[in-house]
Structure 1
Amino acid sequence: MPLHDHVLRITSFCQIAVGVLGNFLQLFFHNLIKSTSHKQRPIDTILAQLAMTNAIMLLSKGIPEAILYFRTAYFLGNYGCKFVFYIRRVSRGISMCTMCLLSAFQAVIISPNNSSLTTLKAKTPKHVRLMCVLCWILTLLMDIYVPMYITGPKNNRSYIRGVNLLYCYWENVFVETAILTTLRDISFVGCMSLASGYMVFLLCRHHQRTQKIHNRRLSPRTSPEIKATQTILLLVGTFVSTYCVSCGLLLYDVYSANSSMWVANVSTFITLCFPTISPFLLISQ
């Protein structure tokens, strides 16, 4: 194995280890707050689901690659590949759905009491758990096609529209399956963008209204709602940017005649940046 592959693999292992640790710390703090607080915030349920799905995504990527790296032999059969990549796709989809739910929930919560979202503002906290369950059901059903197209690795790129996944192979990835997945991803990313734009608008208007008050204070403090909104905006920005870059690299890998495993590994590394960074952003707040 070339030196740059070793460096990239070791960097990936460090990224996965740090990300798994961060997400488990986030779950630990969530359970700690839940056991010590008399009243649980609805947003905590969404954050706990995000941490759990991010940890699953990292583990489903890291464990097979770690075994392959140290054994240097093919260890997953067709059924193993189908199971691992189904879990990975489901966790990715639930993470995207949860981020969409998180941004929409926060946008509704910080909306003014006299806005058109007043009714949703009163009802949304009561249905957070139901919406989290719907995220799981929707993603499990939409990604049920994944095992049909995953097989063991191929020694050559005999399939025109297949993707070599290091220890497995995805056949005809952009023929029958891409449209539905792309529509889902675009819908979620679009919802995140709209909710984020609305939150930015509310923050700017809030800043303008309170600017005079802040100027009179010697040490102005930011409200918890504003801090939470700023953190969620940072999360959404990180998610959307890493998603767009990884999609661009994936398209290059599929359609380029000079594609290589290095491109696929870099794409995966960028995809896992969000589940690695997000718990530390949330813990810091």
Structure 2
Amino acid sequence: MYLYNTVMVIIFLSQTGVGVLGNSLFLCFYGFTLFSSHRSRPMDPILVQLTLANTIVLLSQGCPLIIFYLGKGYVLGSAGCKTAYYLHRVSRGLSICTTCLLSVFRAITISPNNSRLAKLKIRVQQFIRPSCLLCWIFSMIVEISMPIYITGSRTNNNSHRDGLDLLYCYWEKSFKEVVILPSLRDIFFVGCMVCTSGYMVFLLYRHHQRIQHIHRTSLSPKTFPEVKATQTILLLVGIFVSAYCISCGFTLYTVYVIQSGAWIVIVTTFIALCFPTISPFLLIHRDTQTSSSCCASWQRSYLYAQNS
């Protein structure tokens, strides 16, 4: 049992540590680029909010399990469990909402000038920051009732049929009723992501068909960065939707199957943490503007230090 706990600690500590490191690096790169070039791209506030949400997801979901498997048991207590679980639910909802915003605004941005979305293209930048703020408020309101049903440990008179064992906490009765509103929110946002992603794939395909007989040198230099940014968002949405659907499948199995075991919670948590762990490295790898700006600034700093 000691070896099992050690393996679980290593797995979640590695996943949480790598994810937090990646999100911190992305925020550092963004801040460095912003202060060096003094320019902010339209989607940057959404990406920063997504990074913050992912960091909170990793810390609020990974750290309690690490503490649990370190042998501390239910050391968080009821107040700690309520706080950790509420932060996890809010950040998870914020991540869904922000990823959906990223997909929707990108679809509007790359839409043709003769489409029905042309009027929104002109004003899309005005809605980005208010929409980010609304995501925070909406996520906190939707999850406001969650902490009521969380307790620090599973008591003897609780049965698995009446509640949900989260290992470090225990969800008491009425689980199925309480998750109706968050589930409807998730279905709506995931549906929006799928629709906008399909629309972006259609636009990229039509763009590819239009330029396939044109020589590459005749294209505008702005074409490829825009296409690459759209492809990056499509990759993010694809990873998010895949991880979300798999995680939801395991969660439903936990809720409706009696005595599903602790392994299902572990697998569900690991899959749920895959997106916040992978996404910052994907953004850093594919964001050529940020990478080139940071490299250029570091080169200038190095040359300045060598000359002085």
Aligning the two structures, in what range does the TM-score lie when normalised by the shorter sequence? over 0.9
Whether 1:146 and 2:149 are equivalent positions in the alignment is no
Give the superposition deviation at 1:222: 6.2
Q: Which residue of 2 aligns with 1:9?
A: 9
Write out aligned runs for 1:1-285 (5 A).
1=1, 3-154=3-154, 158-172=159-173, 174-214=175-215, 223-285=224-286
Dislocated runs of 4+, deviation >4 Å: 2-5, 214-217
* C-alpha contact (below 8 Å) 2:54/2:276 kept by paired residues: yes
Residues 215, 223 of structure 1: CA spacing in aligned structure 2 closer, same or farther, 3 A cutoff? closer
Inter-CA distance 83–215: structure 2 relative to 1 (3 Å threshold) = closer
Q: What is the distance in 1 between the residues matched to 2:19 and 2:240? A: 15
Greater gyration radius = 2
2:301 alignment counterpart: none
**Structure-2 separation of matches of 1:111 and 1:40:** 21
Amino acid at match of 2:120: L
CA contact (8 A) 1:16 1:276 kept: yes
Q: Distance in 1 between matches of 2:139 and 2:208?
A: 38
C-alpha spacing 1:92/1:161, structure 2 compared with 1 (3 Å):
same
Structure 1 range deviating more: 108-117 or 197-206: 108-117
Distance (whole Å) between structure 2 residues aligned to residue 74 and residue 187 of structure 1: 35
- Look up the equivalent residue of 2:265 and give its one-letter code: A
Q: TM-score, normalised by structure 2?
A: 0.87
Structure 1, unaligned stretches of length 5 or more?
none
How far apart, in 1, do the equivalents of 2:184 and 2:68 lie? 34
Give the root-mean-square deviation of aligned CA atoms.
1.9
Q: Per the alignment, do residues 180 and 24 of structure 1 end up closer, same or farther by CA in structure 2, a change over 3 Å counting?
A: same
- Segments of structure 2 that go 5 or more residues without pairing to the other structure are 287-308
Structure 2 contact 68–167 (Cα < 8 Å) conserved = no
Q: Rate the CA distance shift 1:174–1:64 in 2: closer, same or farther, 3 A.
A: closer
8 Å Cα contact 1:19/1:277 also seen in 2: yes
Q: Deviations over 1:232-260 (max 9, x none)?
A: 10110100011011111111122223411
- Residues 222 and 13 (structure 1), Cα distance of their counterparts in 2 relative to 1, 3 Å cut: farther
TM-score normalized with structure 1 length: 0.94
Contact kept, 8 Å, 2:12 with 2:65, in 1: the verdict is no
Give distance in 2, aligned partners of 1:173 and 1:230.
41
Kindly state the Cα deviation for residue 3 of structure 1 after the two structures are TM-superposed.
Answer: 4.2
Cα deviation for residue 29 of structure 1 reads: 1.0
Percent same amino acid among aligned pairs?
Answer: 56
